[in-house]
Copies of this chain bind each other. A is one copy, B any other.
Amino acid sequence: MAAVVGRLTGRPGVCIATSGPGASNLTTGLATATTEGDPVLAIVGIVPRAQSHRHTHQSLSIPNLLSSVCKSVLNVDVEDQVSEIVLRSIRTASQFPQGATCFAIPMDVAQSTTKVPAFDTKAFSAPKYGIAPASSLEAANKLVKEAKFPVLFLGMRAGSPEVVRSVRGFLKRCPLPVVETFQAAGAISKDLVHLFAGRVGLFRNQPGDKLLATADVIVCVGFDAYEYDANVWNSNSSDATLIHIDYHEADYGVHYSPEVELLGSIESNLDLLSPSDKIYSRPEVTAVCLALREELSAWKATAKSQSQPGGLVHPLHFIALLQESLSEDTLVTVDIGTVYIWMMRFFYAYQPRRLLSSNGQQTLGVGLPWAIGASLIQDPPCSQKVVSLSGDGGFMFSSQELSTAVLQKCNITHFIWNDGHYNMVEFQEVMKYGRSSGIALGGVDFAKFAEAFGAKGFRVEKAEELEEVMAEALAYNGVSIVDIKIDYSHNLELAQDIIPEDYR
């Protein structure tokens, strides 16, 4: 929840926990925030300093433990440090690459007082970076201008409203074909969608992958390989020249060795980039874009008929209906699992940070808590509908938070794509080993589950029920769970037709 607050506001979401398991239970959440660039501040307790080297209840070296998953973990060694440590922790979390920080207060320090006052509010703002050297900007402009087929590739740090504004401005000045990672979802507005070849990520078989494989120059904006390994999307790395635009230097490697780095404010550097206005109008570029756009939209025509009457709901059927049912500005959070592959490929988003997924650690269970966190920072809190989705396996990782959602009076509709299995593991096991193992779940009635928590439960067992139930659930003002029996018989297709290394 703290992570989604950070992702949506750009400022650290704060969480607090007691010593021992209180602190260690934060591990996965903090790891996810740090990997995926969400500013978070965790405040945890530890045993009194006099006990620091002895066995005692809940003794655990929190700084050692959490420093593997945080940008910094500071122990308050004496009370007069606390003001400085709060400031540093917030600044560090806020600075790009944003992530989690933590400070730990020994019980005896917590009971003492400090004579050092808190810092002024303005000290808490993140350090501000400016623009790249003129020579680098020039070099980047020149590379794009002279390219035959330059492409814009938007990554996780291109998904913030600030950067999206500059991305759109750039594309208006210089229309380039564009592709995005899952966490950049929403960067391309409707009026620019003719340039857009879709999202890329798990399995290199998407239209966007073909676009990248076609490019001779790729302008990477806020890209982080946590989302998508460069040795996958750029396997034939000698072919394309990369330009790296980010708050900080590239994670340089064999398949990601940019020719030019534009470091500093992504927005400011993008605003200064203006290589040419003619690229999209080149016939060969237009042709590729049109073909990819067609490939991208083709599924919609038959989406609803993928489900058979009396049969289970096909994922594309669901997605087409959901897309029609929601306004552009409804926030949708998607948990990990097969549901995330379908949704992040096919669900459209035209506004920044309206379609969220965990694409670095791929952490199961984020769907519902993120929907709660997003509800709580609405103004007024919980005033608008938030939609979340998960598989049945992923839902169980944090299902008890339904209690929080109800207690906080959220307005959330959570859809469960229920196949009674850990399907994303299952189909990859089948792909690798020809059989699956250890993936059976099932037997849980999620509609009844919802009611046990005082939420509203819905159930879709046949495809033809979907439209009406979805409408009813979305209209319900409060917390509701929709348990949908999903048709996962086509999932192996998600990993088919991997693009060969020598594509271009």
Contacts and interface: CB of A to CB of B under 8 A. Distances in A.
Interface of A: 20-21, 24-25, 27-28, 31-32, 35, 49-61, 64-65, 67-69, 74-75, 77-78, 80-81, 83-85, 87-88, 91, 95, 106, 108, 116, 119, 123, 127-134, 136, 224-227, 229, 248-254, 257, 261, 263-265, 268, 360-364, 396-397, 399-400, 403, 406-407, 440-446, 448-449, 451-454
A49 B65 contact: no
Nearest to A81: B50
Of A95, A362, A440, most buried by chain B (CB within 10 Å of CB) is A362
Contacts of A35: 59-60
6 contacts: A20-B363, A54-B225, A56-B226, A57-B226, A58-B361, A60-B68
A400 B400 contact: yes
A257 B265 CA distance: 22
A126 to B, nearest CB: 8
Contacts of A227: 57
Contacts of A449: 449, 452-453
Given A69-B65, A80-B50, A264-B264, A55 B251 contact: yes
A84 to B, nearest CB: 5
Nearest to A67: B64
Of A74, A83, A400, most buried by chain B (CB within 10 Å of CB) is A400
Copies of this chain, complex-wide, total 4
Nearest to A449: B452
Contacts of A362: 20-21, 57-58
Given A131-B133, A399-B399, 5 more contacts: A24-B31, A58-B362, A84-B252, A84-B254, A127-B248
A83 B68 CA distance: 26
Of A65, A134, A407, most buried by chain B (CB within 10 Å of CB) is A65
B226 A59 contact: yes
Contact of A452 (B263, B407, B445): B445
Given A81-B50, A252-B123, A130 B128 contact: no
Given A84-B252, A264-B264, A53 B74 contact: yes
